Amino acid sequence: MRTQVAIVGAGPAGLLLAHLLAAEGVESVVVESRSEEYVAGRIRAGILEQSTVDLLRYAGLGDRLDREGDRHRGIHLQWPGERHHLDFVDLVGRAVHVYGQTEVQKDLVAARRAAGQQVVYEVGDTALHDLKTDHPSVTFTQDGEEQRITADVVVGCDGSFGPSRSALPSPSTWARTYPYSWLGVLADVAPSTDELIYAWHPDGFALHSMRSATVSRLYLQVPNGTAPEEWSDDRIWAALRDRLGHGQDGWAMTDGPITEKSVLPMRSFVQSPMRHGRLFLAGDAAHIVPPTGAKGLNLAVADVALLAPALVDLLRKDDTRLADAYSDTALRRVWRCTHFSWWMTTMLHTGGDPFDEQLQLSQLRWVTSSEAGATGLAENYAGLPIGF
C-alpha cells in the first residue's frame, strides 16, 4: 500500500488525526493490533475539556456529543465534614463535558466508515522502517501474510506498549510510579451527584463520576497489587459510602448492580522528543498521566490538534516550520498537564503519613477558600488553549 500518512493505532488519537487530515485532502491508512470491537469497548476517560469539545465540533464530530453529553460547570472537592463546589464557568469561563472515550471512539469510527477511509484491524508484528528517509514504511502481518505501507510520514498513536515509542533512538524519559492504584467500577445506577465529587479521606481517595443518567463510574484508592476480586460489591459500596460522605448534610449514596471492576495503576511518564525523522508520536505513545486530573484523552487530542496542521503544511506546502516545532510545542502542554495531574493526585491520595495528611487538608482548604487557588485549579482542569 502507498499513502501519505501511515498511522499506527486506531484509538481516538489515531482516528481523529486521520479525520482532520482527510478534511485537508491528506490521505492516510490506520493500522491497529486489536479488533474494532476491543478498541471500541475500552472503558477509559470520561471528561472532555472545553478545547477538546471545541475541536470535535469544528471537525464535524459534535452532534451526538451535544445531544447526549452532559455539560458540567465544575466539580466538588470534599474531605470529612466538608464539601465545596468549584464553578469553572464563573472562575474561568469554561466548562467540561462528561462524554466517555467509548462514545468519542464510536463517533470517529462512524466518520471514518462514512468517508470510506481505511482502518486495518487485527494486525501483528508491526514494525517501523526507514524513519530518517522521505519514504518511511510500516510492515505488519495480517492473516499470516506480511504487508507493507509506504508513506511520507508515520505517526505513532499506539500507546505505551506499541512499537512506535521504542522506535525513537536514545530518547530522554521521565517516569514516576505512585504507591497506590484505583479500583474502578461501572454500576447500573443513576449518579448520586450532579457533578463529580473528588473526596479526600483518611482511608483513601474516592471519586464519584458518571457515564450517563443511568450509569455511574466510581473509583477507590487501593494498594498497588490489588486484584479486583478482593473487593466484593458490598465492600465496594460500603467504602464508597464512607469515603464520599453518605449522610453528610443529608446527602445519600445510592448503590446498584456493579457491571465491571478493574484496577488501574497510577503513573506518570514523559518521553522527549516526540519526533524522530519522519516519525511523530501522539498521545500515550509519548506521555502518560494519572487520571486524577482528567488529562489523558485531552492531551492526546491536543497533540493531534497541533500535529494535523503541521503535517498538512509539510505534505501539501513543503513547509516544515510547524512540523519542526511540534515536539517542543506539544511538550510544553504535556509538562503543564503532567504537573497538574501530579498536583491533584498528591493532594487527594493518602499514604498514612500524618504530616502529609495535614498538608493535604491545608491545601484543600486553600483551594476552596481562595479565588486564586480555585481559579488555578479551574484553569487547568477545564483546559488550557491548544497552543499553550
Give residue limits of the domains in the chain. 5-72+95-171+268-350
CA distance 131 to 121: 23
72 in active site: yes
| 169 tagged catalytic | no
Q: What is the DSSP string of 54-116?
A: HHHHHTT--HHHHHH-EEESEEEEEETTEEEEEEHHHHHS--EEE--HHHHHHHHHHHHHHTT
**Rounded distance, CA 25 to CA 198, Å?**
43
Of the candidates 261, 295, 326, 349, the residue annotated as catalytic is 295
Catalytic residue among 19, 72, 208, 261, which? 72
The separation between CA 111 and the C-alpha centre of its own chain, rounded to angstroms, equals 21
Architecture of domain 5-72+95-171+268-350: 3-Layer(bba) Sandwich (3.50)
**Positions of the chain with pLDDT lower than 70, given as ranges:** 43-44, 386-388
- pTM given for the model: 0.94
pLDDT in tens, 51-97: 999 999 999 999 999 999 999 999 999 999 999 999 999 999 999 99
Residue 295 known to be catalytic: yes
291 is catalytic: yes
Catalytically annotated residue among 180, 198, 219, 326: 198
Q: What percent of the chain has pLDDT over 90?
A: 90
Active-site entry in 99, 261, 291, 326? 291
Where does residue 70 rank: exposed (0-12), middle (13-18), buried (19+ CB within 10 A)? middle
198 a catalytic residue: yes
Identified catalytic residue from 178, 180, 326, 381: 381
pLDDT, one tens digit per residue, over 158-202 is 999 999 999 999 999 999 999 999 999 999 999 999 999 999 999
**Mean predicted lDDT score pLDDT of the chain:** 95
Q: Return d(Cα 386, Cα 306) in angstroms, integer.
A: 8
Query: 359 to each of 35, 106, 268, 349, 353, how far by Cα in Å?
Result: 46, 43, 22, 12, 10
